[in-house]
Chain A
Amino acid sequence: EVQLVQSGPEVKKPGESLKISCQVSGYSFTKYWIGWVRQMPGKGLEWMGIIYPGDSDTRYHPSFQGQVTISADKSISTAYLQWSSLKASDTAMYYCARHISTLGTMWLDYWGHGTLVTVSS
């Protein structure tokens, strides 16, 4: 059974750093793209970026390039999303999701339960 287990909720102050995680099981971590999706309170889904753990190839949506860092640790089948300096506008639910890539397209077939990040002074 494919499972994506995300780290717990976080409450941080503006300017602080943060790294959240997504540990997978039930499939070969290095053979699928895995990425992150933001959902701000009461809003829609925003695709942030993906990483291919097999070779660490990473791609970001232009809106998130330079704002976050996506990484992965193959030894523990875990993907990460990190910020070096949080802003109040980073308050959101963050989902990790496995991506299926074929025929020049991708879709997200398995999702984590989400990590709620709250940034407030």
Chain B
Amino acid sequence: GESVGLHLPTLSVQEGDNSIINCAYSNSASDYFIWYKQESGKGPQFIIDIRSNMDKRQGQRVTVLLNKTVKHLSLQIAATQPGDSAVYFCAENRGTSGTYKYIFGTGTRLKVLA
């Protein structure tokens, strides 16, 4: 079946280094993607989004890249900080007929090493 998944369940990064979290999706018709950060005991928090008519979008310290050819999404975090430690999810819009249903992957845990 169609799914959104992640290549790496856990990523350990040295503080100050850049982090790259990857996500694969299988529905080529998906037109909108979001990255979320979830800290322990909290709900997912919006980080950045990208529409399918874009290849790259930058935010503060974060960049999302979309490769529609291979159906791959990545989140890059520059100068990773201890506060970036969390589980990161990509979400794909699978809605039909103008509706919006977001499907989440299983997540990648980011550990920032001091």
A and B, one complex? no
Q: Which residues of A contact B (CB under 8 A)?
A: none
